[in-house]
Structure 1
């Protein structure tokens, strides 16, 4: 991460940090960005129409009436030195072509998991593993979902031992903020050590 700089007035200009919020369709990405953003989030949510019938798998999320068609965008200041810019990905397969662009320049990703539809998480985990982008797995607590232990989630998704897994509620600001802080700390630990100065 780049060190914060001064704007000439002596005031600290916070370092901007790009974070991706990814996961399967209906996992809570838009909800998380909206709950934690200190600005009115930009959302490209559109009402689902009959045109998506047979295209989008809504099994387990039948009540979902809208979907992200491009991205969600929000911002949160986590310290005087750091501002996170959040980019939420669309969840459906037909919009995955956008993920490469959204992931470019990101220090890491929060991959949201819905235990009612674990199979929708594999593609996101695989995407960030292949690109060697640090990520954490954040299990979104849905009211009607069964409870699982961390080890069960880790085994079901074949998550490597060093990758953090946490449980949170995307509707709650503090819970979402803790997930972001966990990711930033993990991503910073993955940064290469600085070269020693001659």
Structure 2
């Protein structure tokens, strides 16, 4: 697993898009309740992110137990949204999906037009990310797994992959969702994974064409 620690301070935000922007890329961040999706979007977005967090009510506490997550008093009820400029022509839009089961119906729409996804996991509750992985595989959406560092029990790469039933072809990284540079590294890892997949598909198509034309 690749480890990322805190490094340089966040870059200065850029509030407006360049007039030359022509490519917009959509990335979704998914995972269980309280895994840090909102925190990641906030830390990496170059604009003030849009979020739909609400204080957990008494009724909500019967559905989502915040006692399992220290300091958790609010929850995302729709999605988080942030933006990152890649270069003068390309911009990445980042959507953080709600983690509670009762909001999973929103995921289907969030997945539409998605280039790839980050599955965030907490080693204290790895099973909370099973549904996210299942939905992404169902949609055929490429993804990487990012382990948010909560200081929980240590798990080896093999243990995490085994618990999530993912193979070595899926990148696995560890990061700190509160840190801009660390969160940015996760997105870079996803983009590199998507690029590698596109190259592989192009080579496969080229080989098939050559074999058909002998």
1:1-198 to 2 correspondence within 5 Å?
12-58=20-66, 60-143=68-151, 145-191=152-198, 192-193=201-202
Deviation larger for 89-98 or 181-190: 181-190
- TM normalised by structure 1 equals 0.88
Structure that is richer in strand per residue: 1
Report if the CA contact (8 A) 2:53-2:75 is conserved: yes
SS in 2 for 1:97: helix
Match of 1:3 in 2: none
Structure that is richer in helix per residue: 2
Deviation larger for 180-189 or 37-46: 180-189
Query: 1:22-74 CA deviation, whole Å, 9 max, x = no partner?
Result: 10000100000000000000000000000112212435215310000000000
Report if the CA contact (8 A) 2:33-2:99 is conserved: yes
Separation in 2, partners of 1:77, 1:124: 26
Separation in 1, partners of 2:90, 2:21: 9
**TM-align CA RMSD:** 1.9
Q: Unmatched 5+ residue regions in structure 2?
A: 1-18, 207-214
Q: Unmatched 5+ residue regions in structure 1?
A: 1-10
CA spacing shift, 1:125–1:59, aligned 2, 3 Å = farther
Report if the CA contact (8 A) 1:60-1:117 is conserved: no
SS in 1 for 2:170: coil
Separation in 1, partners of 2:191, 2:70: 33
- TM normalised by structure 2 equals 0.81
